[in-house]
């Protein structure tokens, strides 16, 4: 899965210019298991780039930030040191690799019972201790799916979306100006469908 993710990132890095994108302004985001796989992928990439002579098809320097949403497996027992990004970054043998990591922003709801929010806070704390620019942003009472599914469907306030856009548009006066005058976001689905989704959702 990590190799698949790396190949996908490589395609974007090497082809985004053909679609009008900036190959040096790419943001990587994953949710839940996707956040874990994406984090493992960039740690693996950092290890490759810090190694001697190993060729890579993309560079971490192209990734402006990593956004991990409701991510899990951020710590682990000794047997998981190959699969936990939090354990991997603490390996003293890869100190140079850690310095290559991009800005790491972790979003998590405190009401997430599938993957507790302390997974993100612990990972962010470890990254900062190692000198990586990292931050955990928590949303009080939000569940595993509220921040990326139910909140956008409801319309109105969508704190995670606002925080995400603020990171991406930071320092871009034109984009910030457009954000300030954007119309309110509308609900994506009728209210009765939201009630139905809550009735059948385990979250």
Q: Supply the residues annotated as catalytic.
A: 32, 112, 144
Rounded Cα gap, residues 182 and 159, in angstroms: 15
Backbone angles phi, psi at 184, to 5 degrees: -60, 145
Rounded Cα gap, residues 187 and 155, in angstroms: 4
Task: Please enumerate in sequence order all residues whose Cβ is within 8 A of that of 121, keeping only pairs 6 or more positions apart, or say none.
Answer: 106, 108, 136, 138
- Name the 3-class secondary structure at 117: coil
- Name the 3-class secondary structure at 181: coil
Q: How is residue 112 annotated by DSSP?
A: -
Could you tell me the two tokens for 50? 């810090």
């Amino acid at each position: 899965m990590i190799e698949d993710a790396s190949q996908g990132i490589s395609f974007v890095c090497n082809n985004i210019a053909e679609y009008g994108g900036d190959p040096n302004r790419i943001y990587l985001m994953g949710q839940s298991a996707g956040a874990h796989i994406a984090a493992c992928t960039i740690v693996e990439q950092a290890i490759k780039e810090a190694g001697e002579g190993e060729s890579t098809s993309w560079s971490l320097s192209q990734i402006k930030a990593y956004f991990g949403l409701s991510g899990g497996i951020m710590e682990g027992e000794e047997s998981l040191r190959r699969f936990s990004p939090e354990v991997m970054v603490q390996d003293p043998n890869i100190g140079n690799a850690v310095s290559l990591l991009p800005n790491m922003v972790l979003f998590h709801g405190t009401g997430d019972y599938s993957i507790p929010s302390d997974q993100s806070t612990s990972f962010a704390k470890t990254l900062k201790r190692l000198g990586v620019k990292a931050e955990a942003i928590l949303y009080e009472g939000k569940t595993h799916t509220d921040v990326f599914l139910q909140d956008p469907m409801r319309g109105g306030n969508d704190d995670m979306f606002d925080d995400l856009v603020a990171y991406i548009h930071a320092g871009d006066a034109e984009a910030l100006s457009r954000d300030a005058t954007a119309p309110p976001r509308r609900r994506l689905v009728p209210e009765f469908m939201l009630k139905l989704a809550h009735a059948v959702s385990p979250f």
